[in-house]
Amino acid sequence: MEEKNVKKESPVVAKAANTKGYKITIGIMAAVIAVLLWLLLFTNEKVKVVTTEKESVEAERVELQSEFDSLMFQYDQIKAEYGDLTDSISVKDSIILANAQEIKRLLAKTSDYNRIKRKLNYLRSIQQSYVDQLDSLYTVNHELEQKLDVANKTIQKEKTRAQTLSKEKEELSQKVEAGSVIRAYNVKGTAYHLKGTKRREVETMKARRVDRIKICFTLAENPVAEPGKRTVYLRIARPDGQIIRRGDGDEYSFMYDGKKLQFTMKKEIDYTNKMMSMCLKWDKRSDDPAMKGTYDVSVFMDGEKIGSSSFVLE
């Protein structure tokens, strides 16, 4: 009896056991699938986050690179705009370039963008200080250039004024010099025949009878001239242009207009700024008759030709 009952319950138990096993397997598989689905979703989200972060990091790097390039472009423009003024603050140049190289290195090798931002802010502040200093130098230079321009104009004005004064002084000096020349007027040449044992002067115009020539003139009054000792020189030129003279040595010459001239007669005087009349005479030294024609007379003193006249012998 007992064996029969066992045989009858066995299929049911077996079926129940199998069903339970299937459920457990399905449950495990469902759990595994659920876990796998969750892992897949989690992984996808993580990939999205990583991708987003990477894109954000790259965008930030590009932005920082662009900011750096903009700063360096501005720096180059400043150098070009201010030209030689930048040479006077070369220390700031060195600091800017050193920081620029450091930022380049960080952009290429690190993702520590906070550090890069700090460096860029520091570079920007240095560059602004650089511009402020250049502006200050430019203002000072501009003011100095304006002052220099005013000074140059003043100097040029004073130079022109000095030249004008110098010219006026020279003209005045020439006028004073001309005014200080003592002029000789009423210059008159007269020929004489010396008559008798007393050699009495008899005026003549006959060349063959001439024994003496007398030149008379008056020195003008001149209060501007320097008073004192002077030498008056007379030159008498014959009709053939030869100068009547005692000799050709230096003792018979004087300087005029940079040239050495022979004189016919000379006389030492003491000029006192007052009118002064005088006569100088020349006695013929040979028995040959005088030359016919016009004789030119010139009077010299103080390196100036102060008077002239002529006379004729027949």
**Successive 10-residue mean pLDDT values, the chain, 314 residues:** 47 62 78 78 64 62 76 73 62 70 72 73 76 73 78 84 78 63 93 90 93 95 92 95 92 94 95 94 88 96 94 94
Q: What angle do CA 68, 70, 76 make, to 5 degrees?
A: 105
Domain end call among 125, 144, 167: 125
Report d(CA 102, CA 282) in Å as an integer: 109
Q: Which pLDDT score, from 0 to 100, does residue 3 have?
A: 46
Query: pLDDT value at position 4?
Result: 46
Q: Provide the pLDDT for residue 150.
A: 82
Q: Are residues 188 and 308 in the same domain?
A: yes
CATH of the domain at 231: 2.60.40.2560
Q: Which domain holds residue 33?
A: 8-125
Quote the pLDDT of residue 305. Answer: 95
Cβ(297)–Cβ(177) below 8 Å: no
Residue at 143 is within a domain: no
Looking up tokens 């066995």 gives 10
Reported residue count of the chain is 314
Check residue 278 and give its pLDDT: 93
Tell which of 81, 107, 125 closes a domain.
Answer: 125
**Cβ contact 99:126 at 8 Å:** yes
Please indicate, yes or no, if residue 144 is contained in any of the structural domains: no
Q: Note the pLDDT tens digit of each residue in 242-262.
A: 999 999 899 999 999 999 999
Nearest-CA neighbor of 298 among 269, 274, 263, 267?
263
Give 313: exposed, middle or buried? Use CB within 10 Å, 0-12, 13-18, 19+.
buried
User: Which of 74, 105, 125 marks a domain boundary?
Assistant: 125
pLDDT at residue 203, rounded to an integer: 94
CB within 8 A of 276, min separation 6: which ones?
218, 219, 269
Give the count of domains, the chain.
Answer: 2
The answer to the question of residue 158 being in a domain is no
Longest dimension (CA), the chain: 226
| Structural domain contains residue 56 | yes
Residues 305 and 212 in one domain: yes
> What per-residue confidence (pLDDT) applies to 297?
96
Q: Give the per-residue pLDDT at 143.
A: 79
**Beta strands 304-313; 265-271: pairing state:** unpaired
- 107 & 190 share domain: no
The answer on 202 and 121 residing in a single domain is no
Q: Residue 314: CB partners within 8 Å, gap ≥ 6?
A: 205, 206, 207, 292
**Residues sharing a CB contact under 8 Å with residue 273, sequence separation 6 or more, in sequence order:** 221, 222, 223, 225, 227
Instruction: Supply the pLDDT for residue 17.
Output: 61
Q: Considering the domain boundaries, does residue 152 fall inside one?
A: no
- For residues 207 and 282, membership in a common domain is answered with yes
Cβ atoms within 10 A of the Cβ of 214, count?
A: 16
